Amino acid sequence: MSVRVRFAPSPTGRLHVGNIYIALNNWLFARQRDGHFLLRLDDTDTERSTAEFAQGIETDLTWLGLSWDSFTRQVDRIADYDAAAEKLKASGRLYPCYESAEELSLKRKIHRVYDRAALKLTAEDRAKLEAEGKRPHWRFKLEHRRVEWNDLVRGAEHIDTSSQSDPVLIRENGTYLYTFTSVVDDIALGMTHIIRGADHVTNTGTQTQIFEALGAKAPEFAHLPLLVDAAGEGLSKRLGSLSIADLREQGLEPMALNTYLAHIGTGVPLVMKPHLSDLVAAHDLAKFGKSSPRFDPAELLHLNARLLHTLPYDEAKAHLAGVGLGEVDAALWDVARANVEKIEEIAEWHRICRGSIAPHIVDPAFGAQAADVLPPAPWDEGSWKIWTDAVKSATGRKGKELFMPLRQALTGLDHGPEMRLLLPLIGPEKTLRRLRGETA
């Protein structure tokens, strides 16, 4: 059977790196096996789901290159949930309960799990309660037994459902809960593997029994460790923690984020991968551990810089144009890329080499002497040494006293790419005017 996996976010907030961590691993797993990657919006929470958040999910995935093979929304699948619920009711696995929230709270103080008191109600009892205006919530009757599975991340796992309460699958207002709708969708859409966060491990026993009660075999499961932030706190899309939109606005490269998320939690040395195809080839769920890995923005930024430092101009060109730097040419990119952490920082070197800067000459006499011995054009990478040797002879300066004033006069900075590479880009005209203390 062809591999089919899904990423199923709810459009109730902005996606954060923890969400994409799950999406990416599903996508890589599918692509490695020529499988199918489904994007499903779990949008039955109509009060909090918005079109803006739904569009944001698609934008984030597209930016990262995680294309989906098919798309569905839970709000379009209510008829399937209705049919599945009727099937479970007919088999006696879904039963109505009439306790109020206050009554359930009191029960929890007395009993560790729900006591199934509703199963003792007669048809007459139920009719009387409903005549009084009470509407039931519906619970799934668990079989009290040990549910075992081989987790593709965690290895042999089990849940003893005798220690769990019968879960509510339908609220009093008739709306369905995730535990139920997710299983119905996974059956109808033919999911073969469920790759999700470790916070769903305890759901697996319940959901396996729902699969079986609906006449289906449960898929294979893989529960990835949950990411935490640098302070060890959990991530929340409602709070915007490390949101993909923010990282994109900060100028991060999508492949830096993809590479980081594909490696974090595996224990494998972090090696920058320039293309998703490189990550596909190396993907292995068995390499992930159980402990929660920390997502460190500083490490991501360092990885982003490493990517830019080796990124060919042909691959950078579209991104440069997208951030308003379409005038940056290959020569400037090749010289300046090793000195930036984010692509927008190229703007400064474009201004220095192709635009103009304010005067930065500290010693006008030294500037005049340096200007007098400029080598003839055209300039190449050897011109810097020819010129500095001549300035050394003319002024007697050497070392930092020679090189730093020249760098500052020509760039306005005390750091940057090698001057032998920058000098030909700045050119004779700008160099002469800057040495004279003019804006150029």
pLDDT over 60 (residue 118): yes
Averaged pLDDT for residues 404-428: 97
Non-local (6+) Cβ contacts of 285 within 8 A are 25, 29, 152, 153, 195, 222, 224
Provide the 10 A C-beta neighbour count for residue 334.
14
Between β-strands 193-197 and 220-224, what pairing exists: parallel, antiparallel or unpaired?
A: parallel
The Cα-based distances of 334 to 37, 78, 149, 164, 282 in angstroms read: 37, 55, 52, 61, 29
pLDDT over 90 (residue 73): yes
Mean pLDDT score of the chain, rounded to an integer? 95
Query: Cα(258)–Cα(20) distance, rounded to whole angstroms?
Result: 9
Counting beta carbons within 10 angstroms of the beta carbon of residue 393, is it exposed (0 to 12), middle (13 to 18) or buried (19 or more)?
A: exposed
Averaged pLDDT for residues 89-110: 91
Counting beta carbons within 10 angstroms of the beta carbon of residue 51, is it exposed (0 to 12), middle (13 to 18) or buried (19 or more)?
A: exposed
- Per-residue pLDDT tens for 22-68? 999 999 999 999 999 999 999 988 889 999 999 999 999 999 999 99
pLDDT over 90 (residue 364): yes
For residue 106, the model assigns a pLDDT of 86
pLDDT over 90 (residue 412): yes
- Per-residue pLDDT tens for 304-351? 999 999 999 999 999 999 889 999 999 999 999 999 999 999 999 999
- Per-residue pLDDT tens for 201-252? 999 999 999 999 999 999 999 999 999 888 888 876 555 568 999 999 889 9
Averaged pLDDT for residues 151-172: 96
Which amino acid, one-letter code, is at 224? L
For residue 404, the model assigns a pLDDT of 97
Write out the DSSP string of 26-93. Answer: HHHHHHHTT-EEEEEE----TTT--HHHHHHHHHHHHHHT---SEEEEGGG-HHHHHHHHHHHHHTTS
Half-sphere exposure of 251 (CA within 13 A, CB side): 17
Q: Is the pTM of this model over 0.85?
A: yes
Non-local (6+) Cβ contacts of 123 within 8 A are none
Q: List % helix, strand, coil for the chain (3-state, nearest 5).
A: 50, 10, 40
Q: Which helix (H) or strand (E) holds 303?
A: helix 297-310
CB-CB contact of 151 with 99 (8 Å): no
pLDDT over 90 (residue 112): no
pLDDT over 70 (residue 432): yes
Query: Cα(129)–Cα(413) distance, rounded to whole angstroms?
Result: 80
- Per-residue pLDDT tens for 239-290? 556 899 999 988 999 999 999 999 999 989 999 999 999 999 999 999 999 9
pLDDT over 70 (residue 145): yes
